[in-house]
Amino acid sequence: MKQDIRTRLAALPKVELHCHLEGALRLASLLEVGREYGVDVPLADAEALRPLVQVTYAGGDFAQFLSKFPVLRKFYQSPEVIARFTREAVADAAAENIRYMELRFNPVALASTRGYALADVCEWVSTAAQAAAREHKMQVELIITVNRMEPQRGREMLQVALDFSSRGVVGLDLAGDEVNFPAEPYVPLFQEARAAGLRITAHAGEWTSAASVRYAIEVLGAQRIGHGARVVDDENVMALARERGVAFEVCLTSNIQTSVAPAIKDHPVRQMMKYGLAVSLNTDDPGVQNSTLTDDFCHAHRELEMDIPALERVVLRGAEHAFISVARRAQLVADLQNEFDLLSGSR
């Protein structure tokens, strides 16, 4: 019997380049941890907690979306909890048939509740991610995320990223409120990171203009852009991104929940791809969004009219821009293509 489209897309091997650990926490786990450690939030049941840590409304904005993360910081109560959240995020990715994942996290966020050293937090996340990757037979790398609202911690963040570059940390990311906190204070930090061999990605053109994408590419040295939907507003910036081979980490459900686009059918990703920009599909914050990567693939198929071969090409583009060596990227692309061929033969 012919499989329905969701079953086929669920089985599709995938690549995840843009997923925040802090936004990938299971609601059931938050409830359990909250009760165990007496976290000061409503814990009567999952529905009491949900509005504080998940998007439960339509037509929100970036401020409402970001408001979930200070609440989530309250749950990082022990090394064991942080390791558990990491293992579960990887396990949930494996359940979506994600073969390669770059899991990004902000050590300051994970350390803040109990005042942990950033190096300790990175140790717990790295160890848990590597163990979970082995268990689920997938590849997991890490990206350190610097929050625009915490410039005083930037130097520490770069140092732990460099210290853990042999433990799975492959890149540095700039995230947070791009409307009220410009990227300028971070320029020396990111230039130093790239000179030291770290790969660079930056949230840009999500809630501000295409000019922020240009700035991230030309000044921060970004090799990938998180979201970047507003790049379509300036053809010169699109040309710059295409010329330099900069890839865009598109997150459909997230962009709808923060009103980057009014509906998925209106998302500019098709325009980006038509122009020849490298695009991958990603979750962003699956726990906060209450969604999965398979959900986004289904949206892309149904509402953006992307057939399975087109979605396979999107997966391969993501693999081609993974923050790993040229040899590993080539092997990842070959392995994914082989799986696609096998699946195609069974359809």
Domain range summary for the chain, segments of one domain joined by +: 5-346
CB 278 within 8 A of CB 248: yes
Q: Are 168 and 196 within 8 A, CB to CB?
A: no
Determine the pLDDT at residue 344.
85
Query: In 23-149, at which residue ranges do the beta strands (DSSP E only) sit?
Result: 98-105, 139-147
What residues form DSSP beta bridges with 145? 173
Closest CA to 103 of 285, 269, 281, 280: 285
Report pLDDT for 242: 98
What whole-number percentage of the chain has pLDDT above 70?
99
What is the model's pTM? 0.96
Query: What is the torsional sign of CA 176, 73, 193, 170?
Result: negative
Residues 17-24, mean pLDDT to the nearest whole number:
98
Which of 4-8, 30-34, 128-132 is least confident? Answer: 4-8
Supply φ then ψ for residue 101, to 5 degrees.
-135, 135
Indicate if the pLDDT at residue 101 is higher than 50: yes
Residue 347 predicted with pLDDT over 60: no
Amino acid of residue 238: M
Please give the pLDDT value at position 1.
Answer: 34
**Res 62: pLDDT:** 85
In the set 206, 235, 303, 305, the catalytic residue is: 206
pLDDT digits (tens, 9 = 90+) for 115-138: 999 999 999 999 999 999 999 999
Q: Are 174 and 190 in contact (CB under 8 A)?
A: yes
DSSP-derived 3-state class of residue 67: coil
Mean pLDDT across 277-294: 98
Instruction: Tell me which architecture the domain covering 5-346 has in CATH.
Output: Alpha-Beta Barrel (3.20)
pLDDT given for residue 276 in this prediction: 97
Q: How many alpha carbons fall within 13 Å on the CB side of residue 196?
A: 21
User: Which of 290, 336, 347 has its CA nearest to residue 311?
Assistant: 336
Please count the other Cβ atoms lying within 10 Å of the Cβ belonging to residue 27.
Answer: 16
pLDDT value of residue 118: 97
The proportion of the chain whose per-residue pLDDT surpasses 90, expressed as a percent, equals 93
Q: For 214-225, write each residue's pLDDT tens digit.
A: 999 999 999 999
Residue 88 appears among annotated catalytic residues? no
Check residue 60 and give its pLDDT. Answer: 81
Helix (H, G, I), strand (E, B) or coil at 276: coil
pLDDT band at 61 (very low <50, low <70, confident <90, very high): confident
Distances from the Cα of 336 to the Cα of 98, 133, 210, 322, 344, angstroms: 10, 17, 32, 13, 12
Tokens of 126: 């790295």
Range 182-190 average pLDDT = 95
With 80 as the cut, is the pLDDT of residue 199 above it?
A: yes
Give me the chain's average pLDDT, please: 96
Asked whether the predicted pLDDT for residue 3 surpasses 90, the reply is no
pLDDT tens digits, one per residue of 239-269:
999 999 999 999 999 999 999 999 999 999 9
What CA–CA distance (Å, rounded) separates 321 from 329?
A: 8
